[in-house]
Amino acid sequence: MIVDSGHRHEFDLGAVRDVQEGKGRCDLLPLDVVAELYNDDIFSDINNFIRSGDTAHLYEVLKKIAPKFGSYSTMLLEVSIHFEEGAKKYNERNWEKGINAKNYINSGVRHLLKWIRGDEDENHERAFVFNIMCCIWTCKNKPELNDFRKETEND
């Protein structure tokens, strides 16, 4: 089950998510420091994405997190349940309408920390993977929503 506050934030392109206010801003945490605190490369990879905008770092996150599920297949089947629950809550493919990368990282890191802490109010491991996967998809398909993208000469 996806926890629902009953309050929504609608993004410019029409996507809808539960409000973030009052939940903290995990995208603003110094994740390089967090990585050292936890001795965990996952936080380093997310930090590297924030610093560079390069989704290769988020693919590394998924590769490192998959063994915690047992396999890629199990991870993907688990996260497909999150997509199903999200479709019931917000409508199918709501996330594809456009949610900025910052929002996905904020939510994803919060779910990762809740998973590490052992919170059981919702399936935080699924929610974490969902946010990382959707962040990658958004950066590839709607690059203007990648808040961490570095401008190049060709832009």
What are the extents of the domains in the chain? 26-145
Where do we find the tokens 């965990």? Answer: 40
Q: Which residues pair with 62 in a beta bridge?
A: none
Q: pLDDT band for position 1 (50/70/90)? A: low
Residue 29, pLDDT score: 93
Residue 153, pLDDT score: 42
CA separation for the pair 154, 69 (Å, rounded): 40
**How do residues 78-133 score in pLDDT, each as one tens digit?**
999 999 998 888 888 988 998 999 999 999 999 999 999 999 999 999 999 999 99
Residue 151, pLDDT score: 63
**How do residues 21-77 score in pLDDT, each as one tens digit?**
778 888 899 999 999 999 989 999 999 999 999 999 999 999 999 999 999 999 999
H or E element, residue 126: helix 124-141
Instruction: Give the helix ranges, DSSP H, for 91-123.
Output: 101-117
pTM: 0.85
CA separation for the pair 64, 95 (Å, rounded): 24
Residue 10, pLDDT score: 67
Retrieve residue 129's tokens: 């993977």
Closest CA to 139 of 95, 81, 93: 95
- Burial annotation 2-38 (CB, 10 A radius, 16+ → b, else e): beeeeeeeebeeebebbebeeeeebbebebeebbeee
Q: How large is the average pLDDT for residues 1-20?
A: 64
